[in-house]
């Protein structure tokens, strides 16, 4: 039997506590791949995890960020292992959109749960998720479906945008290429914030990698407008009303209607997504 991993401790109780380490299953979930894929990447020289004396692989937060970047380069950019190694070496330690960590999101969700005095198991049962998945989310800020994230926000009486810090005041003009990127805990989904501060609308640009999907339907208060800029976008309302949209197409619907969505293109899909009031 392997030794248990050290549990993350809040910095206000033990400021000198070592950073948490993650098992192969947790790291794989955060990267959106199978554990066997991580072992393959190790043989290809893409990542080098720590090892216990027993041989158990352990991944630090920086390793998880690297794994997310590898997954992005493989799936979105279509690079082979040699090209991925070259890309990682050239990037060095410079921040990239796929290497941005999501620890603030995980910490915010953990604080919300602890403030209510609830266990991971209780929250998992309430939102129909796994306790291990929520544990990984609270530790790494990654590894869940979009539906689960939306369900968690609704369960805690908040919104995804508030969890992202979107209500911080910002300049009314967002220049091309300068939109703030909110690192989603969902692989293949990039969200750019097109309007900062407390507004009457949530305005985002969603950039979806091939295969990206909500993985289930979710609903909330308000109304939504989506227009497709690039690719093909599939959305299902009420479980059976299917719409596939191409560039220039748009859809408007009440947010209370359960909606599930997916990138229906072979390449990326880009949509402008507006919610009002800001319930995203």
Q: Per-residue pLDDT for 11 more than 60?
A: no
Per-residue model confidence (pLDDT) at position 135 = 85
Q: Which of 1-15, 42-56, 119-133, 236-250 tops mean pLDDT? A: 236-250
Per-residue model confidence (pLDDT) at position 230 = 94
Per-residue model confidence (pLDDT) at position 168 = 55
For domain 1-100, give the CATH number: 1.10.1660.10
pLDDT in tens, 112-140: 999 999 999 999 999 888 888 888 788 87
Q: Tell me the average pLDDT across 24-33.
A: 86
Q: What is the pTM of this model?
A: 0.58
Q: Which residues belong to CATH 1.10.260.40 in the chain?
A: 103-160
Q: Which two tokens stand for residue 164?
A: 């992202």
Per-residue model confidence (pLDDT) at position 77 = 64
Q: Is 261 exposed, middle or buried (0-12, 13-18, 19+ CB in 10 A)?
A: buried
Q: State the DSSP string of 237-248.
A: ETTTEEEEE-TT
Q: Tell me the average pLDDT across 185-213.
A: 84
* Predicted confidence band of residue 170 (pLDDT cuts 50, 70, 90): low
* Predicted confidence band of residue 276 (pLDDT cuts 50, 70, 90): very high
Q: Tell me the average pLDDT across 238-256.
A: 96
Residues 6+ apart with CB under 8 A from 14: none
Q: Per-residue pLDDT for 35 more than 60?
A: yes
Q: How far is the C-alpha of 278 from the C-alpha of 145, rounded, in Å? A: 21
Q: Which residues belong to CATH 2.60.120.10 in the chain?
A: 171-276
Helix axes of 24-31 and 35-43: crossing angle, nearest 10 degrees: 90
CB under 8 A, 24+ apart: contacts of 122-126:
123/152, 123/155, 126/155
> What separation, in Å, do the N-terminal and C-terminal C-alpha atoms of the chain show?
43
pLDDT in tens, 80-93: 787 787 777 765 44
Q: Which residues belong to CATH 1.10.1660.10 in the chain?
A: 1-100
108 CB neighbour count, 10 Å cutoff: 19
203 CB neighbour count, 10 Å cutoff: 22
Q: Tell me the average pLDDT across 129-154.
A: 81
* Predicted confidence band of residue 166 (pLDDT cuts 50, 70, 90): low
Q: Is 218 exposed, middle or buried (0-12, 13-18, 19+ CB in 10 A)?
A: buried
Per-residue model confidence (pLDDT) at position 76 = 66
What does the DSSP 8-state code read for residue 262?
Answer: E
Q: Which two tokens stand for residue 229?
A: 């800029």
For domain 103-160, give the CATH number: 1.10.260.40
Residues 6+ apart with CB under 8 A from 145: 186, 214, 215, 216
The pLDDT > 90 percentage for the chain reads: 27
Q: Per-residue pLDDT for 8 more than 50?
A: no
Which CATH topology does 171-276 take? Jelly Rolls (2.60.120)
């Amino acid at each position: 039997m392997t030794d248990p991993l050290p549990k993350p401790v809040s910095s206000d109780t033990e400021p000198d506590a070592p950073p948490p380490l993650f098992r192969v299953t947790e790291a794989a979930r955060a990267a959106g791949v199978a554990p066997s894929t991580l072992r393959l990447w190790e043989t290809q020289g893409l990542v080098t995890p720590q090892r216990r004396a027993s041989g158990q692989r352990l991944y630090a937060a920086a390793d998880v960020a690297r794994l997310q970047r590898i997954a992005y380069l493989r799936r979105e950019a279509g690079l082979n292992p040699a090209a991925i190694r070259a890309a990682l070496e050239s990037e060095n330690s410079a921040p990239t959109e796929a290497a941005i960590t999501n620890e603030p999101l995980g910490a915010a969700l953990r604080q919300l749960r602890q403030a209510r005095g609830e266990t991971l198991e209780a929250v998992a049962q309430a939102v129909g998720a796994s306790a291990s998945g929520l544990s990984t989310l609270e530790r790494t800020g990654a590894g869940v479906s979009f539906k689960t994230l939306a369900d968690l926000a609704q369960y805690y009486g908040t919104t995804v945008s508030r969890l992202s810090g979107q209500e911080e005041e910002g300049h009314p003009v967002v220049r091309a290429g300068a939109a703030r990127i909110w690192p989603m805990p969902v692989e293949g989904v990039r969200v750019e914030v097109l309007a900062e501060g407390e507004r009457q609308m949530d305005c985002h640009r969603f950039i979806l990698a091939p295969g990206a999907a909500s993985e289930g339907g979710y609903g909330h208060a308000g109304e939504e407008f989506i227009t497709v800029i690039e690719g093909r976008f599939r959305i299902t309302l009420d479980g059976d009303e299917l719409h596939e949209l191409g560039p220039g197409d748009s859809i408007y619907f009440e947010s209370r209607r359960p909606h599930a969505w997916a990138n229906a293109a072979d390449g990326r899909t880009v949509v402008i997504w507006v919610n009002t009031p800001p319930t995203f």
